[in-house]
Amino acid sequence: MRLAVLSDIHGNARSLDAVLDDIVGRGIDRIVNLGDGLYGPFDPRPVAERLLDAGWPTVSGNEDRTLLEALEGRRVSRTARWTADLLGREHVDWLAGLPAIRTIEGIARAFHGTPTDDALFLLTRPTDEGAMRPAKDAEIAERLGPTDEALILCGHDHLPRVVRLPNGRTIVDPGSVGCPAYADDAPIPHCVENATPHARYAIVTCDGDRFDVEPVAVDYDWDSAAREAEGNGFPDWARWIATGRV
């Protein structure tokens, strides 16, 4: 079984198409999407149509939830309002139907942040200085909680990482397809930087209890994506997308 694991597309159709082109010919059996597919500085409808048509196993991310909150009239970010205002009814219904957790092929548990909170990081922690540090095994185990699956798939922090816990579980964060850097103030002010603008995903080869993980970085036309974000009034996103830095 070979899984292509995608996360955090953030409405970036150019990066998603490049990743899908890269997947062709790799012998992939299943594509898994870990959420935050539409929220971003782009027209979200092209990505939404691709995701609905593909029908991949998908979980809800924190920004998927935020889009639904925007449509309920709650106070949200300007990016969430921009995205939500462009969604069609079928896109909203799809978002509303996404589960927080999915089991994939009986071998993997997939979620966005942690099993209990889509806005918590599993494999990293923001520091008081605004950087990100790797989480310790004990911190990961505490937030992971009990699970029967040996393979764990998570996203949310946009940083590709593979962790193998002492109990044998393998945790894969594929990084972000569409947003290689960002700044946020929750839970505390912090910045995420991949330092390059590539679209990222992961390939997991499952052989019994053995999981071989290949992180993948894909070239695409990030300058055009950045210009679109800039033209839509999001210069910060444009910088993140074009450089992989804040």
Q: How many other β-carbons are positioned within 10 Å of the β-carbon of residue 207? A: 9
Per-residue model confidence (pLDDT) at position 44:
98
Q: How many other β-carbons are positioned within 10 Å of the β-carbon of residue 18? A: 19
* Angle, CA of 185, 191 and 194, to the nearest 5°: 150
Range of the domain at 159: 2-243
Look at the block and give the residue holding tokens 């972000």.
Answer: 176
Q: What is the pLDDT along the chain (246 residues), one digit of tens a residue?
A: 999 999 999 999 999 999 999 999 999 999 999 999 999 999 999 999 999 999 999 999 999 999 999 999 999 999 999 999 999 999 999 999 999 999 998 999 999 999 999 999 999 999 999 999 999 999 999 999 988 799 999 999 999 999 999 999 999 999 999 999 999 999 999 999 999 999 999 999 999 889 999 999 999 999 999 999 999 999 999 999 999 999
Q: CATH number, domain at 219? A: 3.60.21.10
Per-residue model confidence (pLDDT) at position 147:
80
- Reference 119, options 42, 61, 75, 160; nearest CA is 61
Per-residue model confidence (pLDDT) at position 141:
95
Per-residue model confidence (pLDDT) at position 196:
98
99 preceded by a cis bond (ω within 30 of 0):
no
Give the total number of structural domains in the chain: 1
- On the 0-12 / 13-18 / 19+ scale of CB atoms within 10 A, 41 is buried
Q: What is the dihedral of CA 20, 22, 27, 29, to 10 degrees?
A: -20
Per-residue model confidence (pLDDT) at position 148:
79
